Chains A and B, each alone.
Chain A
């Protein structure tokens, strides 16, 4: 059966680590990286990439517009 698989790309330098994307993700895909960007913010990354469906919730809620979402169908 075809299953939607998604992935996000985060503009690390523009992310401010506000964590709104983490709460908006229905599949708990996103976490904050322990490293910081050049401004000193922990930035979002896909901690659990397998679970992402590309629903775009994180990108829609991101106040800094740093998330790009991709979605593809995979045959499982």
Chain B
């Protein structure tokens, strides 16, 4: 059988989501943001909610999502995406509202907005991409940076005595009663991507069924910030990030399913 005979429309089993714009992703090669954007688009398309979904883009690399998914978007000041999403959801309660934030945005400058939106149990969805660094501004240390990890503002490695330990914000918000679903996933292998998609879908369904806030953390890489090739960065992530940020569901249907 020739390749030409296989490449026919009726044999197609996987293609790029039609919700993604024709613009090429402007992320660095191998960046987990591209995969995460794709998953969000696929979930919105599968749920058939593209006309009723409003995204809130933050500041940082993750803001670029508004160029790539063909739905309504609003942009929030640095860290304030959950507050903006709260406003949109309260004015338009029938719309599906989600934020898509990085760790510098959600876990640093936006800690307060994140915790209080979660504590109030706003009926929104938060997608949190954690790569342990400020990517867009040049690889500075973030609250999520691992101990000993070199960044442009911790050139000798993060020193716990003076810079503290990494912030596990996902575990923190899992304890809040207003949060219904919390999961931590990754997008570096096909199996991980499939699981992450299920979690993102569950977080959106949680909102659609008016159960409360759904929160999905995606542990991702930052090849440019970490100064590694994409393949090496994913290996490094498996060896160093995952022991500190273990993957899996943390809270399902309002009940903790993992001892923290």
Contacts and interface: CB of A to CB of B under 8 A. Distances in A.
Contact of B189 (A18, A46, A61): A61
A59 interface: yes
Interface residues of A, number: 35
A69 B29 contact: no
24 contacts: A5-B1, A6-B13, A7-B7, A14-B25, A16-B28, A16-B29, A18-B30, A20-B188, A41-B29, A58-B190, A60-B14, A60-B193, A61-B35, A61-B188, A63-B32, A63-B34, A63-B35, A68-B12, A69-B13, A69-B15, A70-B8, A70-B12, A71-B6, A72-B6
Interface of B: 1, 3, 5-8, 11-17, 20, 24-25, 27-35, 38, 187-190, 193-194, 229-231, 234
Interface of A: 5-7, 9, 13-14, 16-20, 23-24, 41, 46, 49, 54, 56-72, 74
Contacts of B231: 18-20, 23
Residue of A16, A54, A70 most packed against chain B (CB within 10 A): A70
A59 B190 CA distance: 9
A71 B15 CA distance: 12
B6 A7 contact: yes
A17 to B, nearest CB: 6
Contacts of B27: 63
Contacts of A41: 29
A20 B194 CA distance: 15
Contacts of A68: 12, 14-16
Contact of A71 (B11, B20, B29, B35): B11
A23 B193 CA distance: 14
Nearest to B9: A70
A5 B91 CA distance: 51
B24 A64 contact: yes
Nearest to A61: B190
Contacts of B7: 7, 9, 70
B13 A49 contact: no
